[in-house]
Amino acid sequence: MNYIEHVGKYFMMLFQVFKKPQRRRFFYESLFKEIEELGLKSLGIIMFISFFIGGVIALQTALNVESPFIPKSLIGFAAKRSIILEFAPTFCSIILAGKVGSYITSSIGTMRVTEQIDALEVMGINSLNHLVLPKVIATVFFYPFLISLAMVLGIFGGWVAGVLSGLFSGLDYIEGLQMDFKPFLITYAMIKTLVFAFLIATVPSYHGYYVKGGSIAVGKASTKSVVWTTILIVIFNYFLTQMLLT
């Protein structure tokens, strides 16, 4: 199947996904389950990575700023910009594409190969709507919180790294954080997060839903879905940056 066919099939899938849920009670149950699976269970890894990467960003910036003419507060400024603009929305989304994407593909793919999706269809249930919509809503609503947390922890990690290493003072860092603050950059990061969250939920769902074969096929589909979600995140990141910041 060529790429254009895949794109067409993906959009046809979305058409089925975005229909009114058959039972509201069921939908809310699934939604809360997905928020737990896709969001809350990713909190730990995002918090851990954000803190340490924030620290590394601040340390590397400090080590590369050797000139006495450059104020130390620039370290905080650069760390803030890097974390808000790229690290939190893009890097964390790529991590989530790996963690959550493989989970989505393998869970839906296993349902496909064990005929659970056929069972839903025979009962007259729109299986795409039933399985994918709660995932999309869960990621789109929850990931902005997750990414905001990543921003805060990343910036905090930078401050801790500076204070512990002695490369810059906490006050300089905080001064840098307050320097030239543009609220639109947060909006830009959130727009990116929403787009990436949508991709993280739908692209792996597509790969899982249309898997053919057995357990090996599910494994291959999981790998493929992570690769494609990452590629799409990178491509969309480029175009969104071009559209929103230039």
Contacting residues toward other proteins, per CB under 8 A? 22-23, 25-26, 110-111, 114-116, 118-119, 121-125
Closest separation in Å from C-beta 129 to other proteins: 12
Cβ distance to other proteins smaller for residue 22 or 165: 22
Cβ proximity of 157 and 170 under 8 Å: no
Closest contact distance (angstroms) between CB of 207 and other proteins is 20
Give 60 or 116: the residue with its C-beta nearer to other proteins: 116
In the complex with other proteins, the residue whose CB is nearer, 123 or 216, is 123
Measured from the CB atom, the residue of 72 and 130 that comes closer to other proteins is 130
Closest contact distance (angstroms) between CB of 237 and other proteins is 33
User: Distance between CA 172 and CA 73 in Å, rounded?
Assistant: 4
**CA 44 from centre of chain:** 14
Q: How far is the CB of 113 from other proteins (least distance, A)?
A: 9
Please report how close the Cβ of residue 18 comes to other proteins at its closest, in angstroms.
Answer: 17
Q: What are phi and psi of 80, to 5 degrees?
A: -60, -50
Instruction: Name the residue nearer to other proteins (CB basis): 64 or 114.
Output: 114
Tokens of 194: 């929403």
- Complex with other proteins: residue 30 or 202, whichever CB lies closer: 30
> Cβ neighbours of residue 5 under 8 Å, at least 6 residues apart?
none
Q: Which is nearer to other proteins, 144 or 219 (CB)?
A: 219
Least Å distance between CB 27 and other proteins? 11
| Nearest distance from C-beta of residue 22 to other proteins, angstroms | 7
